[in-house]
Amino acid sequence: MRALPRLLARVDQDELVALTRDLVRIPSVYRPGDPTANEREIAAFVEQWMRREGFAVAIHEVEPGRPNVLGSLGEKRAGARCLLLEGHTDVVTEGDPAAWTYPPFSAELRDGRIYGRGTADMKGGLAAAMIAAAAFPRAGVEPPGKIVVGALCDEEDRMIGARHLAASDAGRELDAAIICEPEENELCLEQRGVVWARFRVRGKMAHGAMPEAGHNPITVAGAMLREVPALERRLRKRCERSKYLRPPTVTPTVIQAPPRGAGVPQSNVIPAFAELLLDIRVTPGIDADGLRDEIETLVRAGEVAVPGVKVEWEAVNAFRLATRVDRSEPIVQAMSAVFRKATGRAARFGGVPGSTDGTILRMELGLPIVTCGPGNRLIPHQVDEYVEVGELVEAARIYVASALKFLESA
Ligand SMILES: [Zn+2]
């Protein structure tokens, strides 16, 4: 750790703020069908920045206009480790720009905060990772292993960027990852999992005055909704309690009858179809089969309400299970060990309320992940999203110190 003071000296607040603002000013909202609304421009910016700093850069075109940018420093020689600092380049929509105090892509700097869409989620974290890694060549320190900064696409939707990385040679080479998502710089070792279960309820269309001639799918959807609290209770029993995560929740988010594209709602018509969507969040302790069984139980409770009605369901965007990483993992040990040196305070542990790209890397590769990054964890996706400059700088210092410690400890 002799190189640490030299590395930390290369984390410059003004430069980090400027880089974050540059990233925020490139709107990278993904809008399907619009060939200009994707991660192409921001990926090109990140690529150029990394090349200037001496990173070896690989571009993986996951889908047209939607690249993963992987910038690496150092080598993974025999016995050495490879650490990923992970961020995503896409952001969610800004919504109504008039609702924002400052224009959402202006990256306004006021009173120690940068405001704008993506400041916290998560261009600030990505900028901190870039600056942290670049500290090595700038300080003339050869990384004692390999550092990869991954700027991935599509975290906010299907996570195709993380899935692509997990299936690639670059993914298989990794030994651990720090997911730089906004978690107030806590060391988060657990993440809740999520399944969006979409139910398609098929009945039989009929006149509202003669309901006996049809099979009403709305009645079945209602029966399923009544079962939701029971499903939630069962999940709470099956999943482990967690100090850092709220317990499992089952939340109805969409109900439509008839669903879009399956007819026009009319006061006197029993529709043929109903659609119901449940947002199911779980803590560690249940696997995909266990979740499927519980969802099937809900389906059967609905179907018995109206004989003749059939319920089919699917998981939108596949299952994302809850993740947990043990404190004995080398990446956790490394981060805990350097935290005070990097920040001047003791580490706080925490949990991630939703899923991240780390969920995919954990599920697909078994990779030990720690989610830790700058930004209030409640602020993502809100109007007037911001990141604190102090937290940004702290994050970059945590990343550079953790990378050095983790790679040196191989
Ligand atoms: Zn994010």
Compute the distance from residue 122 Cα to the ligand 1 centre, in Å: 5
Compute the distance from residue 320 Cα to the ligand 1 centre, in Å: 15
Compute the distance from residue 87 Cα to the ligand 1 centre, in Å: 8
As a whole number, mean pLDDT of residues 51-70 equals: 97
Per-residue pLDDT band at 193 (split at 50, 70, 90): very high
Mean pLDDT of the chain: 97
Compute the distance from residue 40 Cα to the ligand 1 centre, in Å: 18
Per-residue pLDDT band at 317 (split at 50, 70, 90): confident
Res 318 pLDDT > 90: no
- Burial (0-12, 13-18, 19+ Cβ within 10 Å), 251: exposed
Compute the distance from residue 74 Cα to the ligand 1 centre, in Å: 27
Compute the distance from residue 59 Cα to the ligand 1 centre, in Å: 20
Per-residue pLDDT reduced to its tens digit, 203-249:
999 999 999 999 999 999 999 999 999 999 999 999 999 999 999 99
Per-residue pLDDT band at 398 (split at 50, 70, 90): very high
Compute the distance from residue 192 Cα to the ligand 1 centre, in Å: 14
> Residue 295 has what DSSP assignment?
H
As a whole number, mean pLDDT of residues 349-353 equals: 95
Compute the distance from residue 88 Cα to the ligand 1 centre, in Å: 7
In this prediction, what percent of the chain has a pLDDT beyond 90?
Answer: 98
Helix (H) or strand (E) holding 132: helix 124-139
As a whole number, mean pLDDT of residues 268-292 equals: 97
Is residue 97 a contact partner of residue 383, using CB atoms and an 8 Å limit?
A: no
- Burial (0-12, 13-18, 19+ Cβ within 10 Å), 82: buried
Compute the distance from residue 370 Cα to the ligand 1 centre, in Å: 14
Compute the distance from residue 366 Cα to the ligand 1 centre, in Å: 20
Is residue 299 a contact partner of residue 228, using CB atoms and an 8 Å limit?
A: no
As a whole number, mean pLDDT of residues 188-202 equals: 97
Res 345 pLDDT > 90: yes
Compute the distance from residue 214 Cα to the ligand 1 centre, in Å: 46
Query: Could you tell me whether strands 323-324 and 66-74 are parallel, antiparallel, or unpaired per DSSP bridges?
Result: unpaired
Compute the distance from residue 298 Cα to the ligand 1 centre, in Å: 31
Compute the distance from residue 358 Cα to the ligand 1 centre, in Å: 10
As a whole number, mean pLDDT of residues 119-140 equals: 98
Compute the distance from residue 380 Cα to the ligand 1 centre, in Å: 7
- Burial (0-12, 13-18, 19+ Cβ within 10 Å), 6: middle
Compute the distance from residue 130 Cα to the ligand 1 centre, in Å: 16
Res 273 pLDDT > 90: yes
Compute the distance from residue 275 Cα to the ligand 1 centre, in Å: 28
Output the six-digit token pair for 321: 């299970």
Helix (H) or strand (E) holding 22: helix 13-24
- Burial (0-12, 13-18, 19+ Cβ within 10 Å), 343: middle
Compute the distance from residue 58 Cα to the ligand 1 centre, in Å: 22
Compute the distance from residue 314 Cα to the ligand 1 centre, in Å: 25
